[in-house]
Amino acid sequence: MVGNWFPYRERGVALGAVWTTARLGGAIAPFVIGTLTRTFGWRRAFWVLGAIGVAWCVLFAWWFRDRPEDKPECNDAELDQIRAGPYSFTAEEAGHAHAPVPWAQLLLSPNLWAICLASFCVCFAWWFYPSWYPKFLKEVHQFSYEDSVLKEVLEGLPFLCGAAGCLVGGRLSDRLVLVAGRRWGRSLLGLFGFGGAALCFLVGGLVRDAAVAVTLLSLACFINDMAIPVIWALSADIGGRYAGTVSGFMNMVGGLGAIITPVLIPQLYNSLPGSVPERWGIIMAVLAVSWFIGALAWLGIDASKPLFAPQNSVEN
């Protein structure tokens, strides 16, 4: 959708907006679900959320079109702007039909596997937040969750910081592309985002001051999420008319990392020696190493080398 509707120079901003609202959803979800559950019970809370989702699907299906050419409200000037610049789709390339996906070419691409490695590593590390973050705060820093509102605020804070990071990162990447070129305009932010998140996460898992730990772990989310819109924009950059396939494959590999983390953490916790804070410190270090590897993967990612060159592409 972003490849169809946005010119190359605005994809980071567009995906930054998408992920900002996604993270905002995660930030308010504990409070909203908690309030609904206390008021109506957890079963009715699910019904309310599901009904909102169904209503949105109906509205979206009525309003949205896959291509700007199919939207009467989109005028010729807007179409020209969308199709201008490198790696923007022509009307034909943005169409619904194209040849079967050339899987052999995709799977032999070092670019694609570098993206997948970055995605796997960051999902492996980041999934600590929605799965084990509350337990970490309770066991290491003795946070009491008798106050349900405090629990909901603390659970939502990293997502709120991530929302700000997505907004900043998407816009910054588009600006860097103009200054540093297509490759480093994307990769530099990935290196900084994942590497900086790893450092904050590592220190946040070792400090014994609760306020400092919460601050560092929230900062890790902010810095990490500066690179999240970039990895999705990158999938559109190199995927071209197969952007959906590249994005989906990248996200599938990342999902495998997210599956492993909630299962691996308790296994490590129960097998490690030492006190509770020491065991959590080792677990946090393992996750931080994964983040560092994800940062290094950006050295092998080159947004200036699409898998399938668009018809109207131009050289840097």
Instruction: State the pLDDT at residue 6.
Output: 84
The sign of the dihedral angle between the CA atoms of 293, 11, 185, 197 is negative
Model confidence at 147, pLDDT cuts 50, 70, 90, reads low
Q: How far apart are CA 129 and CA 146, in angstroms?
A: 20
Model confidence at 314, pLDDT cuts 50, 70, 90, reads very low
Question: What pTM value is reported for the model?
Answer: 0.79
The string over 179-201, giving b where at least 16 C-beta atoms fall within 10 Å of a residue's C-beta and e elsewhere, is eeebbbbbbbbbbbbbbbbbbbb
For residue 49, pLDDT over 50 is answered with: yes
Instruction: State the pLDDT at residue 92.
Output: 57
> Taking residues 296-309, what's their average pLDDT?
86
> Taking residues 232-254, what's their average pLDDT?
88
* Domain boundary assignment for the chain: 2-93+104-300
Indicate the CATH number for domain 2-93+104-300.
1.20.1250.20
Instruction: State the pLDDT at residue 86.
Output: 59
Model confidence at 195, pLDDT cuts 50, 70, 90, reads very high
